[in-house]
């Protein structure tokens, strides 16, 4: 089965759209998805690419654009969602732990539901506990493990790998050395995967 790497960072607003639809879209395309959490805030800081800071017009457009696209997909977010996320790093450390243990998809989807549909910022309670429980994890164990040195290092290494691939934002998709950026490029990435590049 062709494979696609889904590079995402909990804290990316447009990733809500992809997180909620990639499973079905990939299944229909016959493409396997590998969930790859990374720290997009670090990437944007290094690259001096902070898209919405001190840009109220662009921020207003972003929320309206997400609202329109969500409506098209049949999603029902309550916007604007809390943004930016103070605990983005912890949210993604938990996702990195989940990637190693096989539950990152369930956790990430639950975290985005709580964040975008219930107004609970990811990476802190009540979102963090609810998302971990929804993914079948013991919150105390998972949060402690996510803050351990091996997981901190794993997220840092994944972030460096993303930058080495040329990834500069989330959501991004890597297929056979090709990078596709943005929720609106998901279908292009799946087509590329189907064709083997």
**Over the stretch 113-125, which tens digit does the pLDDT of each residue have?**
999 999 999 999 9
Q: Which residue has the higher pLDDT, 15 or 55?
A: 15
User: Across the beta sheet with 178-181, what order do the strands follow?
Assistant: 32-37, 3-8, 172-175, 178-181
pLDDT tens, position by position, 16-69: 999 999 999 999 999 999 999 999 999 988 877 666 666 689 999 999 999 999
Of the chain, the end-to-end C-alpha distance in Å amounts to 13
Angle, vertex CA 67, rays to CA 113 and CA 88, nearest 5: 45
User: Rounded CA gap, 100 and 190, in Å?
Assistant: 24
d(CA 169, CA 92): 14
Q: Given a cut of 90, is residue 191 above it in pLDDT?
A: yes
Bridge partners of residue 179, in order along the sequence: 174
Residue that wins the pLDDT comparison between 108 and 44: 108
pTM: 0.94
Distance CA 195, CA 139 (A): 41
Contact 70, 40 (CB under 8 A): no
Average pLDDT score, the chain: 95
């Amino acid at each position: 089965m062709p494979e696609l790497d889904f590079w995402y960072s909990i804290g990316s607003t447009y990733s809500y759209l992809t997180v909620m639809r990639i499973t079905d879209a990939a299944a229909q395309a016959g493409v396997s998805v590998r969930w790859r959490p990374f720290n997009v805030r670090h990437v944007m800081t290094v690259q001096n690419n902070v898209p919405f800071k001190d840009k109220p017009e662009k921020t207003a457009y972003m929320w309206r654009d997400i609202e329109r696209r969500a409506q098209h997909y049949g999603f029902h977010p309550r916007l604007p969602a809390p943004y930016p996320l103070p605990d983005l790093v912890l949210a993604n450390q938990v996702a990195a732990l989940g990637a190693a243990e096989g539950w990152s998809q369930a956790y990430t989807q639950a975290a985005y539901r709580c964040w975008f549909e219930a107004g609970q910022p990811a990476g802190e309670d009540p979102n963090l506990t609810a998302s971990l429980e929804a993914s079948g994890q013991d919150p105390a164990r998972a949060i402690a493990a996510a803050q351990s040195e091996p997981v901190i290092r794993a997220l840092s290494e994944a972030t460096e790998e993303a930058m080495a691939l040329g990834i500069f934002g989330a959501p991004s998709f890597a297929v056979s050395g090709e990078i596709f950026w943005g929720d609106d490029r998901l279908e292009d990435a799946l087509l590329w995967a189907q064709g083997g590049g």
